[in-house]
Amino acid sequence: MARFANPPNAFLWQPEPRAVGSFARANQYAAGNLLFAGKLMQHRGSLWDLRPPTEAYEAELHGFAWLDDLAADGSARSREIAQAWLFDWIHRFGGGSGPGWQPNLAGRRLIGWISHTPFILKSVEPANSRIFFRALGRQTRYLARRWRAADPGLPSVEALTGLVYAGLALEGQEALLVHAVHDLGRECQRVLNEEGAILSRNPEELMEVFTLLVWAARTLEEAGKEPDPRHLRAMKSVAPTLRALRMGNGALARFHGGSVGEEGRLDQALADARIRAPARSDQVMGYVRLHAGPVVCVVDAGPPPRGTWAKTGHASTLGVEVSVGRRPLLGSVGPGRGFGPDWAETGRRTESHSTVIVERTSSSRFLGRGWSARRLGNRIVDGPRRVPVEQTNDLNGAWVLTAHDGYVPTHGLTHERRLFLSTAGDDLRCEDTLSSHDGAQKKLFDRTVAAAPRLGVRFSAVFHIHPDVEAQLALGRSAVALRLSNGEVWIFRQSGGTLELLDALHLDRSHLKPRPSKRIVVSTSVTSYRGQLNWGLKRAEPSGLAEGDSRTAVQRV
């Protein structure tokens, strides 16, 4: 149906590009190095001759984010590449066939094409200009009819933001703009709650939604139009939520499939939003933030996402991420979707997060890899349902007590985590307890250990160290010295278990391969219905570091 749309002949208004592209990536494209979704392919010629290695790679191609990079370069060479790739896409897929015809991808394309129209159409023949406008009209008509088919959350907001851009810019689409502005406001109300949280609990997805809302609001205002009041209220509620989910270096905490976010993207969105509300101090989107001195600690203190959003959820309940100043210290393996299906599954497990794992069993269980997993998106089928949280502050520092029941169905055990951060931010302590609270839990625990009651149930507290941190055992292998890139040393100590420092891997989309790192594992057992581990991080005194000797620092602590 979209093919029969009357094409617009001109622009009513030209919005400014808001996405910040990369000059370096533009040079890589010109050299034939095509890096998308964590995969590098070498190819010269048309982008559409490639056979994408993954669905994520294909989506990035058809989303046209690479157009921002070529426009950032702005050279004649980059313009020729952009024009060749764009008009080849219209020739191959512009009639409505191919993988790029999904509402969210069409929305992305409209935003990019409309924002960069002067860059695209410079020096092109009039015939190609008419082809370009006809393709814009087809995608606009398609989105107007099909945006509701997009998944709720980021995909639906992408589709509607594309419609807003088309309604503002294209001749003859004024009536479409009224509906698009109203629908975007209604979608904000549907996918975001009053606290500015998204049901997927993915901080990076929330940032992308916020960025699109800011773009749409500012573009409407610059064109002399008013955003929907629900749209503006959503922006005001999301800004302090995102500030609460930032680590010391400004990057986002990596939970539930989210990465740290593209550098500078959140800063630019917050600046453009002109919303100065501080970070929320209470529980937000199921996370708790402890902050004192240079230390930021974010705790996943909520149940995993369910329903439509469960296919991207991680078994990370009570996991922590810790940064010191602008340097990450503890976190997770990271989201593995850009490294293939095996890594995507590995990144979701409890052992890939800095939390407690019982007998290598994740606190949330997922569908397997068979037909049902493909059909239902590998959703969470069982996991924590109750995650109570208590917070308090005193003269010594801030306390958080939280727990989850994810191991009750499998072992009859409840995990409790009590965290303390000193007022000066130089001392972080934690008490992890696994226990059976009532008769039903004790019966299940007894069945679990029936074969060897004296051995109990083995559990471990796992801590994934950032690859930029140098870690080594100290004090007779009873502590770990963690040296940051600026030379500062923090000491990890524990009681109640046995400590190991093991090899690990760190997944980061800015690197083509997993980076080698380390993880601390502290293990003990639950016997007589209770087991406990205590651990802590404390900053070593600078005077003990003159020789770079971590053992001296440990002794001083």
Q: What is the mean pLDDT of residues 388-403?
A: 94
pLDDT surpassing 80 at residue 3: no
User: How much is the pLDDT for 369?
Assistant: 47
User: How much is the pLDDT for 297?
Assistant: 96
User: How much is the pLDDT for 376?
Assistant: 39
Task: State what percent of residues in the chain have pLDDT above 90.
Answer: 71
- Tens of pLDDT along 415-472? 999 999 999 999 999 999 999 999 999 999 999 888 777 788 999 999 999 999 999 9
pLDDT surpassing 80 at residue 554: no
Q: What is the mean pLDDT of residues 226-235?
A: 96
- Tens of pLDDT along 469-528? 999 998 878 899 999 999 999 999 999 999 999 999 999 887 878 999 999 999 999 998
Neighbour-count burial for 299-323, b at 16+ CB within 10 Å, e otherwise: bbbbbbbeeebbbbbbbbbbbbbbb
pLDDT surpassing 60 at residue 395: yes
Mean pLDDT of the chain: 89
User: How much is the pLDDT for 410?
Assistant: 92
Range in 35-44, 326-335, 365-374 with the lowest mean pLDDT: 365-374
User: How much is the pLDDT for 474?
Assistant: 87
User: How much is the pLDDT for 380?
Assistant: 58
Q: What is the DSSP string of 441-475?
A: HHHHHHHHTTT-TTT-EEEEEEEEEPTTSEEEEET
Note whether 310 and 304 are within 8 A (CB): yes
Amino acid at 113: W
Q: What is the pTM of this model?
A: 0.90
**Which tokens is 320 given?**
């922590």
User: How much is the pLDDT for 185?
Assistant: 96
Q: What is the mean pLDDT of residues 301-327?
A: 90
Which residues, in sequence order, are bridge partners of residue 290? 297
What is d(CA 399, CA 415) in angstroms, rounded to the nearest whole number?
Answer: 17
